[in-house]
Amino acid sequence: MPRDLPARRAVALVLTALLALPTPALAWGRNGHRASARLAESRLTPEARAAARALLDEGESLADASTWADEHSREIPGSGAWHYVNVPIDAPRYDDRHCRDNCVVSRLAEFRRILADPTAPRERRRMALRYVVHLVQDLHQPLHVGDRRDRGGNATQVSLFRDDRTNLHQVWDSGLLRNGYRNERAVADALFDLAREPEARDWTGGAAEDWADESLAAARRAYREPGSNRPIQSGARLGREYQDANLPVVVERLTKAGLRLSEVLNADLAAAGRAKAPARPPARVPAQAPR
Ligand SMILES: [Zn+2]
């Protein structure tokens, strides 16, 4: 249909332009982020669920919100550093000096403050919610914390099965998951199953710094060959042994992220709700309170 041609040509041009853009680094890939957010959403209190729905766009689920920060990172200059912290893998633990006030730990704290503040503009709280979801998850990706002077594995070129154009960071973002599960639904099933295990009861609580320490410990293992314990070097060919040793770690990290995210949102969105309730005059406070 000739009349359609200009429109089609425009669509084709836009698609070509989009394809030409480098893909933003999606920590955990889309399936990992979305599945973990679905687990979190299933554990929200009715109050937090309603508050999240009121903040997000019409029809936007927590899973949709979970990838927003990666999809829009280009539009927010400097925001790339908010998704990770480089902690040397031989450091005993995460320390604020690794963060220098501009990393996933400090940004998560900042976005949580905005989310819990009902006086903050709605637009800001909506963005804060999207970041809180995403950053809790990124903080659980071991190579978003542990670093061996190779940008969290980005500079360590490896192959995983037949994919010989990847690197260790991408293996952890999405390679292991892609080889382990067909689709987002299958990842979500694995997370929901693990969250029902008795051991998962011990996984809630803790602070962002604790979650960073866990990721650091997992990163030390990620940088080693499972059998021999030798450090993985550029050019390493990772296969079945690496996949089988580490996919369970990925599933556990995403499950923990989902469970903790639900706690974070239940707390922060409830705090905002309470603060919004009309303040009652304090009872039995003397007119001249002693100082
Ligand atoms: Zn990210």
**Tens digits of residue pLDDT in 169-205:** 999 999 999 999 999 999 999 999 999 999 999 999 9
Instruction: Locate all alpha helices (DSSP H) within the chain, ordered by sequence.
Output: 5-20, 29-42, 46-55, 62-66, 68-71, 96-99, 104-115, 122-139, 168-170, 176-180, 184-195, 208-222, 240-276
Are 222 and 158 spatial neighbours (Cβ–Cβ below 8 Å)?
no
pLDDT over 50 (residue 257): yes
pLDDT band with cut points at 50, 70 and 90 for residue 25: low
The neighbour count for residue 80, using CB atoms within 10 Å, is 13
Centre of ligand 1 from the C-alpha of residue 257, in Å: 13
Label each residue of 212-280 as H, E or C.
Answer: HHHHHHHHHHHCECCCCCCECCCCEEECHHHHHHHHHHHHHHHHHHHHHHHHHHHHHHHHHHHHHCCCC
12 within a domain of the structure (yes/no): no
Centre of ligand 1 from the C-alpha of residue 37, in Å: 14
Closest by Cα among 212, 258, 252 to 39: 258
Share of the chain above pLDDT 90, in %: 81
Q: Residue 158: what are its φ and ψ, rounded to 5°?
A: -140, 175
259 within a domain of the structure (yes/no): yes
The rounded distance, in Å, linking the Cα atoms of 164 and 238 is: 9
pLDDT over 60 (residue 26): no
Centre of ligand 1 from the C-alpha of residue 193, in Å: 25
Q: What is the pLDDT of residue 18?
A: 43
Q: What is the pLDDT of residue 278?
A: 54
First-to-final CA distance of the chain: 82
Of 282 and 77, the structure prediction assigns the larger pLDDT to: 77
pLDDT over 70 (residue 17): no
pLDDT over 70 (residue 286): no
289 within a domain of the structure (yes/no): no
234 within a domain of the structure (yes/no): yes
Centre of ligand 1 from the C-alpha of residue 106, in Å: 14
Closest by Cα among 265, 217, 222 to 112: 265
Of 273 and 285, the structure prediction assigns the larger pLDDT to: 273
pLDDT band with cut points at 50, 70 and 90 for residue 229: confident
Centre of ligand 1 from the C-alpha of residue 235, in Å: 25
Centre of ligand 1 from the C-alpha of residue 281, in Å: 44
Q: What is the pLDDT of residue 271?
A: 81
pLDDT over 90 (residue 225): yes
Centre of ligand 1 from the C-alpha of residue 157, in Å: 20
81 within a domain of the structure (yes/no): yes
The pLDDT mean for the chain works out to 89
11 within a domain of the structure (yes/no): no
**87 forms bridges with which residues in the sheet?**
146
Domain interval for residue 71 = 25-275
Of 4-18, 67-81, 101-115, 164-178, the poorest mean pLDDT is in 4-18
Residues with CB under 5 A from ligand 1 (ion): 27, 70, 83, 138
59 within a domain of the structure (yes/no): yes
Centre of ligand 1 from the C-alpha of residue 250, in Å: 16
Centre of ligand 1 from the C-alpha of residue 146, in Å: 15
Centre of ligand 1 from the C-alpha of residue 83, in Å: 5
Centre of ligand 1 from the C-alpha of residue 31, in Å: 13
Q: What is the pLDDT of residue 58?
A: 97
Q: What is the pLDDT of residue 86?
A: 97
Q: What is the pLDDT of residue 131?
A: 98
Instruction: Output the pTM of the full model.
Output: 0.86
Centre of ligand 1 from the C-alpha of residue 227, in Å: 30
Q: Is the dihedral of CA 251, 76, 262, 60 positive or negative?
A: negative
pLDDT over 80 (residue 287): no
Where residue 181 sits, what CATH number does that domain have?
A: 1.10.575.10
pLDDT over 70 (residue 277): no
7 within a domain of the structure (yes/no): no
As for how many domains the chain has, the answer is: 1
CA atoms within 13 A on the CB side of 44: 21
Q: Residue 231: what are its φ and ψ, rounded to 5°?
A: -65, 140
Q: What is the pLDDT of residue 289?
A: 39
